[in-house]
């Protein structure tokens, strides 16, 4: 039975203000006249593009020549044609505009262009005509131009690889248009709502193969150049510019596989040296597409699906419709070298991108405000597909645990941002490709799935996709369709809508802390909410100014039913509620079953102690679901950080890990224990903390078997990998002895069979490099250069940062931003992250960042948001005011360099301030809790 006060409307003042702000910034569909200056005016919209590009990969200046002919529809009379173009040289003297005529009609007269100009701030190209274009008429706009294949991994860019057989460098040209980089390849209306169809032709040397979104329509040899061909592709479906894709390469593929239902052909294109590493993706990809076709009830709209592994790629992958592009490590699988973690990750990436074919490509967000609408759903639905295709991987539990870790960390900052964030200038977009849309997004979608029920949720998605197919939508459109289905099916009361619930999660920053205070005599619990802040001072100042609609599920020690995830009660903005019929003081209560809600929980101390006792009982702890065991560990440490719980209890609770068989719990615990280690590692008390870590890790390490033995199942392999990593970081003697010997064997082995099991290879490599000298470092570097396996190359890159030699680490960092080194641009941050994680390397990394700031910025190119990623790495280890002031001064003196990383700047400053506050208030508490009593 639930006791609560009368339900009040959700629209508190703060939420109303957010909605109003959101409306004003984004605009409504009926208010196009109020278009901000950085948006296209909307007077003219594209209907069709004919794109022809000649690319000479053997020309050292890497220029390409293009011509785009756009069929335009005039919406409002105008004498200005405004579209996007950036880093392109347009032939302004030969621009042509004419009114479109039907076949057989008299040839139209050209409309004279009187002036043309660039708006470099907003990346517009503007052509002015001598007379206005008229509403409801169509026009043809012909634009010749040329561009350069850049190395910044955006637009139409070049990549390369070393062919192992010939030892020659091979070049390729490929696109990356999301979010706003199609304009760097051809003049276009580069906004997601400006959908059109595309006919693409690529002219290239015949020794290369051209790919694009659609199958090849026709290939012809050029009359004046017999070794050149023109590859013409079928016309696309209606789509946004950011999912247009094309590439020219000498890539090859294994025989294609097909989906079982409709025989959609799948190919994985790759450099020939890596062909055998595509077999797993060829196996799993069609199955994922088959499942999603059935789930959505809508056929995949294109006649083929190509996947391509690109040597240099900025993202993990990109959902170009019909031509999904990947970073090599995100798609290539080698059974001897690719760890289970990475195998699952690359499968998830493939599932995520295939889910985009519907969520993102078929139905696209109206504007970048709803970036999460495609990314969050692609992640969640991709995880559903993956769990149904490979059932023994426990995909959803793993994904939830990972996403909660990212979300809880970032969204506990005041400088975080809403899931649905009002985007103004497109320059802000790149900063928002963070863990909020990609991690918090799928979490709140999963929460919605649970409170609506599977059938209602699926039916609502199908209704939404069918209604807005080949068009654009906003989150309210999805909420309306889900509410409609939910009311028909009785999944929600008539007076409640999905919007009322979900807007509390999408339009405000942060997440709630649910406080459960039990009255043991009455058998009740008072449940209230406040916002969780990592900063104690912010919590006290701002914690009670927000509220959420929170679905509450719970169980007790008497029944331990973790499968009833439908909410038994709702906590909303009406204030605290009282839950009755709870057991007395002999039984624990636990909320948020299977982590179906995105919130932390704090119990009264007695309930915490009972939960700790059951966890530390080897015969009882399995009564609690693994996801809830994970939540208890992370919540206890997070509440100890804010002094809502004492560290004595958190450390006592975590001691149960010696029994824990689940990877997700170990992985989450490792993140929080490592966070404390980062704060203490330069203090005299660090050895005391390491002793505690060793007391937890040693029993688990002794159970996982010798390092040289590879477990038979994926779950054990993953648990062994995280325990091994923890053993390395806390200096466990048993581990170091084994790892040193294994590394020595690996360095001297001439056998093709790996000496070090793939799941622990990264840890052993790191230990070997740390305990060895320059000779072994060079041997590992040579292995990196010669390796043909992306997973192995990444293991080595990370391990090379474990050296204890200052000079070696300094040189390694310099190589990471050297155009002529063998470290790829996409991996530069990996090098920086590996060195900063090294206790010896962190000050070297910080000094490198400060002194080489201009070089780093120039290496990644202008308008880069990458500088924010460097700040994020440093923030993890910084906890002194002196260091913070130093970096703040660097930022203030270099505003132009950090212009596109302002969000990351704010988060960096707040994170370090939180670290400083923790160090002042909690360092002694931690050490006191760990000293022998």
* Residues in binding site for Zn(2+): 352, 356, 375
Active site residue 353: yes
What is the number of other CB atoms lying within 10 angstroms of the CB of residue 354? 27
Bridging pattern class, strands 577-579 and 363-365: unpaired
CA quadruple 389, 394, 400, 405: dihedral sign = negative
- State the pairing for strand pair 197-205/44-55: parallel
Tokens of 284: 């799993």
The two three-digit tokens of residue 592, written as one number? 């948020």
Catalytic position from the list 232, 353, 481, 794? 353
Query: How would you label 390-422 residue by residue, b for 16+ Cβ within 10 Å and e otherwise?
Result: beebbbbbbbbbbbbbbbbbbbbbbbbbbbbbb
User: Which H or E element spans position 318?
Assistant: strand 317-318
Nearest to 451 by CA among 418, 493, 422: 493
Cα dihedral value 849, 855, 856, 858, nearest 10 = 150
In 182-227, beta strands by DSSP E = 197-205, 209-212, 216-221
CA 306 centroid distance within chain: 22
Q: Any alpha helices (H) in 363-495, and if so which ranges? A: 371-389, 395-410, 435, 441-452, 454-467, 475-489
Q: How far apart are the C-alpha atoms of 195 and 45, rounded to whole Å?
A: 8
The values of phi and psi at residue 863, to 5°, are 60, 25
Q: Residues 769, 774, 778, 781: is their CA dihedral positive or negative?
A: positive
Judge whether 364 and 238 are in contact, CB under 8 Å. no
Q: How many CB atoms lie within 10 A of CB 433?
A: 15
Residue 888, H or E segment:
helix 881-893
Contact 708, 742 (CB under 8 A): yes
Nearest to 666 by CA among 456, 405, 417: 405
Reading the block at residue 445, the tokens are 């979608």
The bridge status of strand 512-519 relative to strand 89-90 is unpaired
Rounded-to-integer distance, Cα 549 and Cα 570, Å: 7
List phi, psi (to 5°) of 586.
-90, 5
Give, rounded to a whole angstrom, the gap between the first and last alpha carbons of the chain.
Answer: 44
Instruction: Find out whether 302 and 259 touch, Cβ atoms under 8 Å.
Output: no
**How far is residue 811's CA from residue 825's CA, in Å, rounded to a whole number?**
16
Q: What is the DSSP string of 720-769?
A: HHHHHHHHHHTT-HHHHHHHHHHHHHHHH---SS-SS-TTTHHHHHHHHH
C-beta of residue 293 within 8 angstroms of C-beta of residue 262: yes
User: Rounded distance, CA 634 to CA 671, Å?
Assistant: 9
Which residue, chain included where needed, has tokens 């913070």? 884
DSSP code for 509: S
Catalytic residue numbers? 353
């Amino acid at each position: 039975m639930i006791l609560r006060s009368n339900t009040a409307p959700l629209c508190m003042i703060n939420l109303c203000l957010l909605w109003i702000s959101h409306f004003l910034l984004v605009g409504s569909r009926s208010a196009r006249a109020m278009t901000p200056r950085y948006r296209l005016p909307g007077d003219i919209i594209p209907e069709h593009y004919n794109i022809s590009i000649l690319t000479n990969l053997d020309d050292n200046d890497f220029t390409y020549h293009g011509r785009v002919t756009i069929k335009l529809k005039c919406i409002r009379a105008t004498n200005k044609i405004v579209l996007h173009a950036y880093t392109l040289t347009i032939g302004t003297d030969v621009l042509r505009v004419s009114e479109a005529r039907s076949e057989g009609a008299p040839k139209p007269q050209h409309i004279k262009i009187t002036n043309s100009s660039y708006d470099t701030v907003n990346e517009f190209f503007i052509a002015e005509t001598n007379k206005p274009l008229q509403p409801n008429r169509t026009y043809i706009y012909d634009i010749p131009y040329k561009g350069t294949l850049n190395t910044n991994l955006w637009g139409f860019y070049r990549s390369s690889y070393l062919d192992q057989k010939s030892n020659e460098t091979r070049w390729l040209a490929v696109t990356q248009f999301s979010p706003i980089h199609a304009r760097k390849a051809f003049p276009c209306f580069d906004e997601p709502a400006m959908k059109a169809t595309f006919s693409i032709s690529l002219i290239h040397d015949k020794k290369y193969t051209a790919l694009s979104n659609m199958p090849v329509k026709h290939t012809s040899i050029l009359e004046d150049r017999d070794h050149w061909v023109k590859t013409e592709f079928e016309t696309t479906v209606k789509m946004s510019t950011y999912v247009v894709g094309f590439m020219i390469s000498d890539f090859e593929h294994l025989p294609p596989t097909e989906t079982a239902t409709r025989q959609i052909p799948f190919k994985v294109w790759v450099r020939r040296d890596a062909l055998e590493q595509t077999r797993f993706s060829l196996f799993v990809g069609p199955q994922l597409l088959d499942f999603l076709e059935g789930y959505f009830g809508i056929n995949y709209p294109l006649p083929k699906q190509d996947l391509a592994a690109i040597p240099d790629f900025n993202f993990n992958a990109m959902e170009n419709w019909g031509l999904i592009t990947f970073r090599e490590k995100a798609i290539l699988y080698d059974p001897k070298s690719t760890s289970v973690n990475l195998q699952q990750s690359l499968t998830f990436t493939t599932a995520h991108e295939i889910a985009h074919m519907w969520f993102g490509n078929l139905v696209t967000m109206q504007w970048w405000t709803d970036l999460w609408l495609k990314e969050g759903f692609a992640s969640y639905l991709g995880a559903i597909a993956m769990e149904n295709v490979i059932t023994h991987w426990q995909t959803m539990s793993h994904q939830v645990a990972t996403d909660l870790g990212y979300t809880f960390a970032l969204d506990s900052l005041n400088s975080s941002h809403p899931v649905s964030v009002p985007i103004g200038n497109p320059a802000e977009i790149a900063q928002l490709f963070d863990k909020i849309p990609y991690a918090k997004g799928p979490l709140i979608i999963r929460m919605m799935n649970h409170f609506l029920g599977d059938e209602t949720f699926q039916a609502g998605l199908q209704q939404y996709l069918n209604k807005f197919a080949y068009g654009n939508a906003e989150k309210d459109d999805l909420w309306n369709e889900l509410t409609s289905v939910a009311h028909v099916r009785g999944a929600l009361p008539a007076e409640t809508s999905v919007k009322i619930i979900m807007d509390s999660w999408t339009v405000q920053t942060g997440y709630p802390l649910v406080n459960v205070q039990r009255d043991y005599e009455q058998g009740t619990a008072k449940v209230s909410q406040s916002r969780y802040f990592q900063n104690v001072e912010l919590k006290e100042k701002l914690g009670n100014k927000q509220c959420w609609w929170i679905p509450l599920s719970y169980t007790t020690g008497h029944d331990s039913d973790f499968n009833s995830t439908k909410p038994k009660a709702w906590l909303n903005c009406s204030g605290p509620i009282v839950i009755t019929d709870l057991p007395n003081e002999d039984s624990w209560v636990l909320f948020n079953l299977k982590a179906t809600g995105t919130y932390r929980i704090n119990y009264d101390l007695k309930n915490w102690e009972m939960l700790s006792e059951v966890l530390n009982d080897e015969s009882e702890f399995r009564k609690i679901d693994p996801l809830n065991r994970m939540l208890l560990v992370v919540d206890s440490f997070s509440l100890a950080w804010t002094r809502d719980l004492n560290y004595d209890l958190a450390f006592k609770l975590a001691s149960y890990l010696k029994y824990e068989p689940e990877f997700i719990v170990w992985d989450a615990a490792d993140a929080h224990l490592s966070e404390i280690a980062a704060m203490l590692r330069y203090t005299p008390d660090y050895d005391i903390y390491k002793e505690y870590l060793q007391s937890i890790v040693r029993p688990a390490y002794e159970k996982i078997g010798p390092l040289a033995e590879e477990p038979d199942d994926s779950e054990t392999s993953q648990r062994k990998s995280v325990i091994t990593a923890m053993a390395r970081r806390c200096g466990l003697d048993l581990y170091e002895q084994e790892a040193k010997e294994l590394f020595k064997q690996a360095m001297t082995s001439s056998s093709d069979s790996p000496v070090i099991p793939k799941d622990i290879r990264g840890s052993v490599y790191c230990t070997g490099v740390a305990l060895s000298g320059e000779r072994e470092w060079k041997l590992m570097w040579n292995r990196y250069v010669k390796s043909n396996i992306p997973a192995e190359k990444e293991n080595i890159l990370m391990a090379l940062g474990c050296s204890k030699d200052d000079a070696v680490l300094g040189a390694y960092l310099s190589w990471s931003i050297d155009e002529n080194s063998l470290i790829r641009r996409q991996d530069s941050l990996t090098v920086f992250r590996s060195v900063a994680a090294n206790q010896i390397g962190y000050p070297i990394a910080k000094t490198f960042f400060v002194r080489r700031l201009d070089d780093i910025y120039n290496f990644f190119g202008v308008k880069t948001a990458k500088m924010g990623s460097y700040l994020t790495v440093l923030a993890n280890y910084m906890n002194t005011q002196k260091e913070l002031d130093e970096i703040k001064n660097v930022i203030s003196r270099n505003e132009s360099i950090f212009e596109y990383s302002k969000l990351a700047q704010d988060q960096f400053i707040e994170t370090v301030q939180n670290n400083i506050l923790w160090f002042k208030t909690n360092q002694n508490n931690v050490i006191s809790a760990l000293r022998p009593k």
